[in-house]
Each structure stands twice: as C-alpha cells, then as structure tokens.
Homo-oligomer: A and B are copies of this chain.
Amino acid sequence: MPDLDFLFHPQSIAIVGTPSDPTDMQGGAVFLHALVRSGYKGDIYPVNPKLSEILGLKSYPDLLSVPQGLDYVICCLPASLTPQLIRDCALNGVKAVSIYTAGFSEAGEEGGELEQELVSLARQGGIRLIGPNCMGIYCPTTGLSYHSGFSKDPGCVGLLCQSGGNSNTLTLMGGDRGIRFSKVISYGNAADLNETDFLEYLSQDDETRVIAAYIEGIKGGPRFLKALARAAEIKPVMILKGGRTQAGTRAATSHTGALASASERWDALCRQAGAIQVYTLEEMLDLVETALYMKPPNGRRVGVIGWGGGASVTNTDACENAGLSVLTFSSQLSQQLRRFTFGPGSSVNNPVDSAVLTSPSLLSETIRIVADSKEVDLLLIHMPLATPHMALDSEAETWKAAYNAIIETGRSLDIPIALVQPCSDTPESWEVFFSLHQRCVKAGLPLYSTGSQAAQAISRYVQYHIWKSREGA
C-alpha cells in the first residue's frame, strides 16, 4: 500500500493552463481562485505563456521555467498537450499531477489510448496521477482546494468522489449542515490512482473518522472488495453507486469511462464488505451526519415519542418501512407512562403521543422512563412543523422549552436520541431549522427534517453496527 500522504500536503503547486482573463471561470481560474481564497500557504505558480502576472502572482510561460522540485501540478491544458506536460513534469521532478482536462477514456477509444500514454509517461517519470477528468484534492489543513466556497476548517469526513460536480455538491451541502471534511478527492477516470488507493488511504488516515464514497465504476473488483471490508472494520463507509440503472451506466461511461457492473453484484459486494449503501446525495449527508453524531444503537427497537397523532402514525410507518421495530411496550412501562400521559387522544403504547408532552418536565420524564426501560435501543422524537405560523408567542415558547428539555435530557441517557423536525421550504422556516440543527448536533443529537429520512439513515447505521459486531465476534 503506497503512502499517499504527500498528495495532501504539497509545498508548491503549479497551475498549467490558467486563462488569460482571471474572471473567465473556466479551467485554471477556478483552481487559482480556490487556492488563493483557501489560504494555501505553499508556493503557487500560474503557468500561461501570455501573462506576466495573474491575481498578483508571477506567471510563468511554461512548466520548465518554474523552479525545480514542484510537489503538485494541476493540469488544465487541452488533452492533446498533456503528454508533453507529463514529460516536462518528469524533468522538473514533480511528484503528482492532478489532471482536470477531459477527453480521455470517457470520450472513446482514441481518448483511452491517450490516457494510457499518460499513465506510461507518469510511471517512467515517477509521477502519480489524479484523474484525468477530475477536480483533484481538497485538504483544508493545507489550504489545498478546488472550490472557493469550501470551508477552511478541517473536519473528520473523508470523501472520495468520482464526479467533481457531485464532490462540490456534497462538500458544499455538507458544509452548510456543519459537516467538515478531512480530505476530499475528486478522482475522475482513475487512470493511475484509483478508488481502491484512496479508500485504503482514508481508512488508515487518522484525521478521517467517517468515509463517504461516490463511485461510478471500479477497477479490480477483488482488491476493492478487500480494501472496502478492511475500511469498514475500522470506520463507517457510505457508498453511493452512480450508474445503478442501464441508462445511468451509459451516462457514467460517457462521464468517467466507468464500466458497467450489475446492481445485484454491487449490492452483494457492499453487503459482504459491511459498506453502507445510500441512493441519493441527500441520503449520503444524512448518513454522514448520523455516523458523526449518533452513538451506535445496540439494536433496531425504536421508541417513538412526539406531538400529534397523525405524525405518530406516519413516523411509526417510516420506522417500520425502513426496517426498524416499533414494538408494543410492556404493560409495566405503559402503566408508568399512564400515570401522567393520560387524557383523551393520548397513546402510551409506542408510539407515545400525548398533549401533556407540551410540558417540558413531563416530556423529560417520558423520555427518561422510556429510555431507561431497556425495551428500546433508541428514541425517535418528532416535533411539529417549525414555522413562523405559530399563532402566539406562547406557542413558540412551548416549542423552545420542549427542545431545551429534550437536549438536556438527551445528554444523560444510555441510549441515543434522534429528532425529526419538519420544515417548510421558506427562508424563515430554514432559519428556525438551521439554528436548531446547529444546537442539536452540538449536543450529539442528529436532527432530520422528515421521519423517513431519519428512519432510513438510522436503520442503515444500525445495520452497519450489527455487521461490525458480528465481524468482531
């Protein structure tokens, strides 16, 4: 297993093919802006024969004019010029080249031959390649970045992503939810370094606690399977397979040259290796958040507690549909609850639903009684719509007091709690949701905007821990 750590900590970077107009956000300018805005501390060498300076940085006419011993080169040249660039990189002593340029194996046979030529030249020159047809690496600790909007703060999620666009979406959307990354790798056609190399690296990387992967095709199934199983034994690995359908595979082939692999084969592989499969980018972020914030439940038994009969029904359905169990409480437990969650319209028999839950102290006591019963492995608490529609301040106060009670009680329980907080698609509602979300995750309570999202994510997370405990046994 090669040590790829050098890829993430380059002392110097050349961007070959920066545009003459820095506001033309094609190719090189994107990388240049990203490095400058991310506070990259090493040396940056823009390369463009028509410029003497760009964004205040000296520009070089060609790579051979750049000082020797570059650590990292970002290539934005047209495909036809890339072989010569790799030769020049070898002369400079470059360690790694990230190739943004497209038009290789994803574009057909001729492009595939060109890609092979690049790999041969790189091997001869002792250079490792990322891509082609990729965005390369984001590593906040060193300021290496390819998007100006990525956070400067490092975190503990490692993302390997065959698609540059999806890596942007996941990193930006994740960032907005407060998720921070250790390393993100957009690796495109994977001509030299591939998904297995990066997976192995992230599984050994101490800065990475959770791995997320978007993969369109794999090179070398058995090696990948072994790496995946090894990684999953160490930390949760979530995988989204792009191109699960025939038409999706066609799209993937013309996107990154990925080869087809039947969904059934893929599903079996993930199951065997203990990887957590997700099916959309949003599910990926839900699972990352679950893995980051929720302590592992010991099983699938959920206690559903909340405001509102209809929401109790739909959230119970969501749990059961996702493979969690909402079991009837013992008569002792129901009796204990009945002491105070009485009154018409109440249910004390999982789901627990009662108007008295609007009292913070009774809500806390209900949570504690169910959590301590040993009859459930986790609690799902659902709240009514977060809106500016509350008729009176007293309603908003009731709602806030309930959250305080949940967060306070949640801290001291032996089992994990997850929250469902519906939210309207308005800026005002998201204002409410957003600040709550920050508060909850800080307290270690994942917060989801729908019951089905919550149930799906939690069920897959539980499944992973069941797999892991069996592997360990």
Residues of A within 8 A of B (CB): 23, 25-26, 30, 33-34, 37, 78-79, 101-103, 106-107, 111, 133, 147-149, 161-169, 172-173, 176-177, 214, 216, 240, 242-248, 250-252, 254-256, 279-282, 304, 307-314, 316-321, 325-328, 344-345, 347, 349-351, 353, 355, 384-385, 387, 389-392, 394-395, 422, 424-431, 433-434, 437, 449-452
Contacts and interface: CB of A to CB of B under 8 A. Distances in A.
B165 A384 contact: yes
Given A247-B326, A425-B449, 6 more contacts: A172-B387, A172-B389, A176-B424, A243-B317, A251-B313, A425-B434
Contacts of A111: 344
Q: Which of A107, A166, A313, A320 has the most CB of B within 10 A?
A: A313
Contact of A316 (B23, B245, B309, B317): B245
A279 to B, nearest CB: 7
A251 B392 contact: no
Nearest to A162: B310
B312 A385 contact: no
A431 B251 CA distance: 32
A251 B385 contact: no
Given A313-B251, A328-B250, A384 B353 contact: no
Contacts of A425: 173, 176-177, 430, 433-434, 437, 449
Given A165-B310, A247-B326, A248-B313, A387 B149 contact: yes
Contacts of A173: 385, 422, 424-425
11 contacts: A26-B355, A149-B389, A173-B425, A176-B429, A240-B314, A242-B313, A243-B313, A247-B317, A251-B313, A251-B316, A252-B313
Nearest to A33: B391
B33 A255 contact: no
A103 B390 contact: no
Contacts of A434: 425-427
A148 B390 CA distance: 8
Contacts of A313: 163, 216, 242-243, 248, 251-252, 255
A308 B167 CA distance: 11
Nearest to A432: B427
Contacts of A347: 251, 254-255
**What are the 3 A-B residue pairs with the smallest beta carbon separation, nearest first?**
A163-B310, A149-B389, A103-B344
Q: Which of A167, A248, A310 has the most CB of B within 10 A?
A: A310
Nearest to A280: B452
Contacts of A106: 345
Contacts of A242: 310, 313-314, 317
Nearest to A240: B314
A427 B424 CA distance: 11
Nearest to A307: B165
A162 B328 CA distance: 23
A304 B250 CA distance: 13
Contacts of A449: 425
B422 A169 contact: yes
A245 B422 contact: no
A60 B34 CA distance: 70
A62 to B, nearest CB: 22
A101 B452 CA distance: 30
A255 to B, nearest CB: 4
Given A133-B345, A318-B280, A389-B149, A169 B251 contact: no
Given A23-B392, A172-B424, A326-B247, A345 B314 contact: no
A221 B129 CA distance: 65
A251 B312 contact: yes
Contacts of A246: 320
A437 B325 CA distance: 38
B452 A389 contact: no
Q: Which of A111, A133, A314, A349 has the most CB of B within 10 A?
A: A314
A349 B250 CA distance: 9
A139 B426 CA distance: 23
Nearest to A321: B245
Nearest to A242: B313
Contacts of A390: 149
Contacts of A107: 344-345
